[in-house]
Amino acid sequence: MANTKSRRAFFKKAITAGAMLTPLSATFGAGLTQAMERNTYYSKPAELKITEVQCAFIRFGSSLFVKIQTDQGIYGCGEGVDAVAGTYHFVKALEWRLKGKNPLNVHRLFDDLRKSGIFQGAQAGMYVAVLSAIETALWDIAGKALGVPVYQLLGGKFRDKIRVYCDTALYQRNLPTPEDFANAATEAKKMGFTAIKFDLDQRNDPKKYDSYNWTASPGELKRMVDQVTAAREAVGPEIDICCDMHGRYDGVTGQQIAKRLEPLNLMWLEEPIPAENPEAYKIISESTTTPICAGENLYLAYGFRRLLEMGAIDIIMPDLQKTGGLGEGQRIANLASLYYVPFAPHMVASYLGAMASCHVCASVPNFMILEWQMYFHTDAMYKEIVKFDGPMVENGFITLSEKPGIGVDINEEGMKKYAAPGYPFFK
């Protein structure tokens, strides 16, 4: 602060001295001095310190929001999803490892937290999902403190707009018909989306012989093909369609449905089997021309190494609110780029998570497309819990924020009414 005051005094003295020499110098430098007076000045970045880590939960505890406070009033926001339920006390346990540290050392803090948790589950699951939220909040602080958007800290951008596909949220538990698929596809196309996703797994399918057996019956296979066929006929050949099976089937079913959907020219078939068996994925991928996509339930770059080395999948889809955060997301994308594999992140977070993901998507050359949820347009909560500029999405693209940090903020007042019961709220 003393250095800042000295700079102001220098300019003021220079202007005053100049005024004694000529009338013109009475205005010279005044604009700079006024601009300096209008801005908040912080100490140099090396002196910034973390003081507190706060958090809140929504969606019955499946969405974690983290807010990291500093000694200069700058705060950062991050989000974790899915593997975060019941982790309030874990967030607070990590807080003491961060207090007093400089938040701008993002990679160092990430590495410290991960390596210090080797015997606490830091390889995957809840530990990494919570770490993803914290790491994202650190990037947000760094951008705000240095006055640049996060993508700039990640090395710059390849693109200004991020293409998204619309997950229609046409969940199979409601037994949608082929006509429902056609209508949902048509609606998404009218909204300007150039890519659409549907779920194909249906545990309560009346044609299923055994709800615990992962082999699809002939009737189930026909149902899936009929549904996707209706969607393709409704939107024509120039709209991308992808289908998700949520890892609920076996290798035989994965091969069969991928083969039968080949004439419909899918953008990808997503996780017909669980992603933990690269060898099984390779068998499916080699049996079909339908691109196979996986990765939303894999953690850290290590989780993708074997799949990529084996050529087991065609497209990777890490969830950046779960797999390790933004730096790790970029690392995964760069790893995939070595194998010429496209990067298409999974995204079921809020608009905070969406924009955070966009900064990573902008920063890598092999970005393909990002997930977007139809419920952002139908559920008021998703607009109320965040603060942002402009429309969320236009014609199937998110415009990358140029504001310092992530560019989307948490709206605590809006979020409070959706807070998960039984959890502390930003404490």
| pLDDT at 115 > cutoff 60 | yes
**What's the pLDDT score for residue 28?**
39
Pairing of strands 161-167, 397-399: antiparallel
The whole-number pLDDT of residue 111 equals 97
Angle, in degrees to the nearest 10, between helices 251-260 and 218-235: 40
- In this structure, the answer to whether residues 190 and 86 fall within a common structural domain is no
Quote the pLDDT of residue 203: 84
For 99, phi then psi, to 5°, come to -55, 135
For the chain, the average pLDDT equals 90
139/158 same-domain check: no
pLDDT digits (tens, 9 = 90+) for 280-312: 999 999 999 999 999 999 999 999 999 999 999
pLDDT in tens, 154-207: 999 999 999 999 999 887 777 899 999 999 999 999 999 999 999 999 888 999
Whether 217 and 139 share a structural domain: no
Confidence of residue 14 (pLDDT cuts 50, 70, 90): very low
Tell me how crowded residue 378 is: count the other CB atoms within 10 A of its CB. Answer: 9
176: tokens are 């949608």
Q: Is there a single domain that holds both residue 140 and residue 185?
A: no
- Predicted pLDDT at 174: 79
Q: How confident is the model at residue 29 (pLDDT cuts 50, 70, 90)?
A: very low
Query: Could you tell me if residue 37 is inside a domain?
Result: no
Q: Is the residue at 108 inside a domain?
A: yes
186/238 same-domain check: yes
pLDDT digits (tens, 9 = 90+) for 247-257: 999 999 999 99
Same domain, yes or no: 269 and 334: yes
Q: How far apart are CA 387 and CA 352, in angstroms?
A: 9
pLDDT for res 169: 85
42: pLDDT strictly greater than 70: no
Nearby residues of 398 by Cβ (< 8 Å), 6 or more positions away: 161, 162, 164, 354, 355, 358, 370, 372, 392
pLDDT at 20 over 60: no
Amino acid at 65: F
- Domain carrying residue 108: 46-148
Measured CA to CA, the distance from residue 337 to residue 140 in angstroms comes to 26
* Token representation of residue 298: 């894999």
Band (pLDDT 50/70/90 cuts) for residue 270 is very high
Contacts of 19 (CB under 8 A, 6+ apart): 25, 26
pLDDT (0 to 100) of residue 43? 56
The amino acid occupying position 351 is Y
In a domain, 392, yes or no: yes
Domain count, the chain: 2
Q: Which of 95, 114, 148 is the last residue of a domain?
A: 148
**Residue 366 near residue 339 (C-beta atoms within 8 A):** no
